[in-house]
A and B are shown apart, each in its own frame.
Chain A
Amino acid sequence: SQQGEEDPQALSIQEGENATMNCSYKTSINNLQWYRQNSGRGLVHLILIRSNEREKHSGRLRVTLDTSKKSSSLLITASRAADTASYFCALPPSGTYKYIFGTGTRLKVLA
């Protein structure tokens, strides 16, 4: 399957703590993208990392990519209650326009 597998499926942390979620995949990719979804609304793009990049930052977000292990991680530092959402990785496999999402991690940040 081209789909990314994310873990954990669910994560509950206290406000101020860091949250880490992972995405593993099987195919070769040009880039990997992370999205956030708030309670059943449309997904919002967070960050894109290209296959030749190892790490990327955007505000409190840090994404890493290890193409040898076919895995990526998303770190949210100093989490806030507003970060409560589902997070998905997206994999646009090389040579196709199919755009498949991972299974998602449900993050709950407790105030």
Chain B
Amino acid sequence: NAGVTQTPKFQVLKTGQSMTLQCAQDMNHNSMYWYRQDPGMGLRLIYYSASEGTTDKGEVPNGYNVSRLNKREFSLRLESAAPSQTSVYFCASRRTGLEAFFGQGTRLTVV
């Protein structure tokens, strides 16, 4: 049982490049989430998906897009990366009313 799997684990981008962070869960959870965590800070919600086919903005959505491809997969896209998007990105999934399970994180550096 893999839980929540994120790829890649590390990425370096040049300013203006685009990339997609992948997330997949095998727990049949309805809700999925993308967070970013800056050094020494808490988690900030970027986007979330309450169920397959729906997505909603979180606290810091600017500069990002998401796709809930199916129940298992929720991807995060940076269309034109900026240095301010240097961060650690976490994907999570949960069943309504219960705890969340997190991936290992993607460490993204934009130079």
Contact = CB atoms under 8 A, between A and B. Distances in A.
Contact of B104 (A41, A102, A103): A41
Interface residues of B, number: 29
A88 B90 CA distance: 15
A37 to B, nearest CB: 9
Contact of B103 (A30, A31, A33, A42): A42
A97 B31 contact: yes
Interface of B is mostly: strand
Contacts of B2: none
B104 to A, nearest CB: 5
A25 B105 CA distance: 27
B102 A44 contact: yes
Interface in A49-98: 88, 90, 92, 97-98
B53 interface: no
Contact of A99 (B31, B37, B42, B104): B31
Contact of A90 (B40, B96, B100, B105): B100
Interface of B: 4, 31, 33, 35, 37, 40-43, 45, 48, 50, 56, 58-59, 88, 90, 92, 94, 96-105
Given A41-B104, A42-B90, A43-B43, 8 more contacts: A40-B105, A42-B102, A42-B104, A48-B99, A88-B43, A97-B50, A98-B48, A99-B33
Task: Identify the 7 closest CB pairs spanning chains A and B, nearest first.
Answer: A42-B102, A97-B50, A45-B99, A101-B43, A103-B42, A104-B42, A43-B102
